[in-house]
Amino acid sequence: MLGNNPTSLVYPDPIDIETKTQSSVAHFIKKMKKNKGAVVGAMILLFFIITSAFAPFIAPYPVNEMKFEDSLQGPSMAHWLGTDEFGRDIWTRMLYGGRVSLLMGLFAVTLSGTIGVILGVLAGYYRKLDIYIMQFIDILMTFPSLLMAIAIVAVLGVGLTNAMIAVAISVVPSFVRVVRGSVLSIRETEYVEASKAIGVKDWKIICKHILPNVASPIIILATLEFGSSILSAAALSFLGLGAQPPNPEWGALVFVGKSFLSQAWWMTLFPGLAIMLVVLGFNLLGDGLRDALDPRSK
């Protein structure tokens, strides 16, 4: 019996909470280290992020410097990955192209994640809105994501910014469905029902109980969609709908290189390899996060 004395109430010990938090973080790090695929994926991504971020300091040549006397030279000590039809260094352009490709993926995932989480929470928490939001999402999902992105660019116009917006919109349905499914199960839990019963406002319930519990699937999905967004953005640039010359985006580099495939295979191979490795890195890391953040595996 606690009696009527308020001081007799037992509150959680802050030290215990801190210990449990540290234990959870340590468990997460331990599981990530054990997952060799996640470690490899993280190392791949770390390499491309560092080289892209420090491209101005790493690149041996100016990104758009043309030397026609060096055009279509193969890989050598002077030009590690060869040169293009204008004598520009491929390694330099790939470093700067990584910045464009990674930023396109980051923008697309951030925008689509924000919109998707908002719509998913509204659809899962408010039954009256659910049918309207999901009907709209179902319509969007009838189109393949790349086809939808192409249609959006056709409406908005060709360009880097419009390509990022198009890719972001095409990814929104994935976030909405994942978040909605999680919210539907969480809103039926006892602590949410108890919060409603004592008059807690909806926005407080969403911020305090709903969002923290859907964070894990959002993080996992965002990691996986990051790679998909980069691939979609590269596809748009390859089709001439995304980054425009002289922007050295990876998809655009592959597009230019295909015209010289028989003469200069390196113009296509190395940018394509970079796209493949980055997408692989995000997929491996996403799989590792899914295993580490899965409550059933603890």
Residue 89 has phi, psi (to 5 degrees) of -70, 125
pLDDT value, residue 21: 54
* Residue type (1 letter), 269: L
Q: Judge whether residue 92 has pLDDT over 90.
A: yes
In the chain, the domains with their CATH numbers are 76-297 (1.10.3720.10)
Q: How confident is the model at residue 226 (pLDDT cuts 50, 70, 90)?
A: very high
The per-residue pLDDT for range 135-153, each reduced to its tens digit, is: 999 988 888 888 888 989 9
State pTM to two decimals: 0.84
Q: Judge whether residue 68 has pLDDT over 90.
A: no
Average pLDDT rounded to a whole number, residues 19-29: 63
Q: Judge whether residue 10 has pLDDT over 50.
A: no
Query: Could you give the angle at the alpha carbon of 217 between the alpha carbons of 289 and 287, nearest 5°?
Result: 30
Phi-psi map region of 240: left, alpha, beta (phi>0 left; psi -120 to 50 alpha): left
- Which tokens hold the place of 54? 């420090």
Q: Judge whether residue 7 has pLDDT over 60.
A: no
Average pLDDT rounded to a whole number, residues 222-246: 88
